[in-house]
Amino acid sequence: MFCINCFNKSTRVSNTRPSKKQPHIWRRRSCSECEAVFTTRERPSLADNKSVILPSGEKDEFNLGKLILSISRAFTHNKHEAEYSTLWLAQTIEDILSTEQETITPEDIEATAHHVLKQYDELAAIQYAAQHNLISSTRRKRGRPSLREHAPRKRE
């Protein structure tokens, strides 16, 4: 890792702590040249470690950018959240998916994203579900949409 202060290529790690709840590693680093101390947080990249199995059977890599755009479109009711929370939400979804099976499907991504959005913003979750055809009927008792049952897969 290079120093963020002087761009020296030699830094040393003085402290490392894994996160208890997420697949992150926190590291305290110091530069051997300018003696600056800084912190890095490392997380696995889903694109490099897991394949997305498309409905056609082809394998593709996970694209965080597509997920960010998809989540952003679900926040049409709140532009501030669309601008400031979508990256964080997409990374949360990526973290959840990175701890699951070897391969994932677009349905797994959609179900996990819907689950996370539902916990964060109910209206955004409904808009996301509508965009991804997770809503099977727009008319039910009292006009409420009904969602297809696509819960995220349980971790084994």
In angstroms, the Cα distances linking 45 to 42, 97, 142, 145 are 9, 11, 43, 35
According to the model, what pLDDT value does residue 24 have? 75
Number of other residues whose CB lies within 10 A of the CB of residue 1 = 14
According to the model, what pLDDT value does residue 149 have? 52
SS3 content of the chain, % helix, strand, coil (to 5): 40, 20, 40
DSSP summary character for residue 50: -
According to the model, what pLDDT value does residue 74 have? 92
pTM: 0.65
Per-position pLDDT tens, the chain of length 156: 888 888 888 889 988 888 777 677 888 999 888 888 988 888 776 666 677 888 888 988 888 889 999 999 999 888 888 888 999 999 888 888 887 767 788 898 999 999 999 999 999 999 999 888 887 655 555 655 555 555 555 544
Among 43, 28, 51, 133, which Cα is nearest to 88's? 43
Among 25, 42, 32, which Cα is nearest to 9's? 32
Dihedral angle over CA of 52, 133, 156, 21, nearest 10: 90
Domain map (residue ranges) of the chain: 11-42, 46-147
Q: Which helix (H) or strand (E) holds 69?
A: helix 64-73
According to the model, what pLDDT value does residue 10 have? 85
